[in-house]
A = this chain, B = another copy of it.
Amino acid sequence: MRVVNFNAGPSTLPVSVLEAVRDEIVEFDDSGMSIIEMSHRSDTYEAVHFGAADLIRELLAVPDGFDVLFVQGGATMQFGMLPMNLLTGASKGGYVDTGAWASKALADGSHHGEVYAAWTGRDTRYTRVPTVAELSLREGTRYLHLTSNETIGGVQYRAWPDVPVPLVADMSSDFMSRPIPWERFDVVYGGVQKNLAPSGLALVIVRRSILEHTSRELASYFRYDLHASSNSMYNTPPVFPIYVMEKVLRWIRDRGGVAAMAEAAEERAALVYRTIDESDGFYASPVEPTSRSNMNVVFRLADRDLEAAFIAEAARRGLVGLTGHRSVGGVRASIYNAMPMSGVEALCELMDEFRSGTG
């Protein structure tokens, strides 16, 4: 029986997509073979590959002046690849340290360029994003790096900071759940294994005009310009995640696109936060209201000793994946695009019943 899957990533996918994969995986499109056995230079695979890229352009309204790249290694590899490509000469990368993922981006970047923290929330336990006034930008800053949503901490930018340098964002855990104001960004990247596809693929969307100034003194796989000029076919792409993503993108389009995803995300998150806020302190969010994520709702029980029982009762009801990240503990409900409202309602019902049964 299918459970309600609150995993933080890999995470729930539309069941209709899984069923379509099941029906096609032995033989794709009368080709006499599986999509995963096919040359990536074949017309059949290329239709999927370019179809996926076109859908991303359409759904996120990516302007003509940007390239959509499919790169392996997840967002984690981009922590190195981004400064390798962009920090040429004496330019610097500013990083806003909003939590576990932003910290990793900064630490990894330090090996491949001059980077610095433009702000850190470490001393306040990562409970919010900074205001613009709190950001310290240094002379020669090439970009300001943001982590649009901290999957572990549940902290999200609800608005983009207005700064005089291009933004770069890791959108791994809220890609395709919100529109992107492209005029502000030089690069947007993210792993796809939360809102979009199975693991093994990152999207990197790059402003084309910067490619001629990116480094070419790198092995081919590390070069943004080469992935762009080869349509992400410089070497064999990760066929299966791209193939599944193309189906998920169509599922998103059929349900009304990114605007509809954004609206549904707000509704799901609002219900959980309301249940938290109206619990008389039985449940509490550690995140300041203005920075609360609508993708990863993190909360604690006032009585920490009850958290294990809460998670066990959830599992008994078929609600799984609610354990907070091992680095922070507590409860985390990841409610990505493919999470149905009914799953969130079941969670909130449990929260109310658990509270009244033990309170």
> CB within 8 Å of B: which residues of A?
1-3, 5, 7-13, 15, 18-19, 21-22, 25-27, 31-34, 36-41, 72-77, 79-81, 104, 107-109, 111-112, 191, 193, 198-201, 217-222, 234-241, 244, 318, 320-321, 326
8 Å CB contact of A19 from B26, B77, B111: B26
B32 touches A3 (CB 8 A): yes
10 CB-based A-B contacts, threshold 8 Å: A5-B32, A7-B39, A8-B39, A36-B198, A36-B199, A41-B326, A72-B73, A104-B220, A108-B219, A199-B239
A238 and B72 within 8 A (CB): yes
Number of copies: 2
* CB of A175, distance to nearest CB on chain B (Å): 14
Residues of B within 8 A of A326 (CB): 41
Instruction: Quote the shortest CB–CB distance from A159 to chain B (angstroms).
Output: 28
Q: Quick check: B18 and A25 within 8 Å, CB to CB? A: yes
| A8: nearest chain-B partner, CB-CB | B39
Closest to A34 in B: B18
CB contacts (< 8 Å) of A76 on chain B: these are 220-221, 234-235
Question: Closest chain B residue to A77 by CB distance?
Answer: B221
Which residues of the other chain, B, contact A108 by a CB distance below 8 angstroms? Answer: 219-221
The answer to whether residues A79 and B241 also contact, given A26-B22, A74-B236 and a CB cut-off of 8 A, is no
- CB neighbours (8 Å) of A9 from chain B are 39, 236
Once the chains bind, are B40 and A10 in contact (CB under 8 Å)? yes
Q: From residue A222, how far is it (CB to closest CB) to chain B in Å?
A: 6
User: Could you say which residues of chain B place their CB within 8 Å of the CB of A74?
Assistant: 72, 221, 235-236
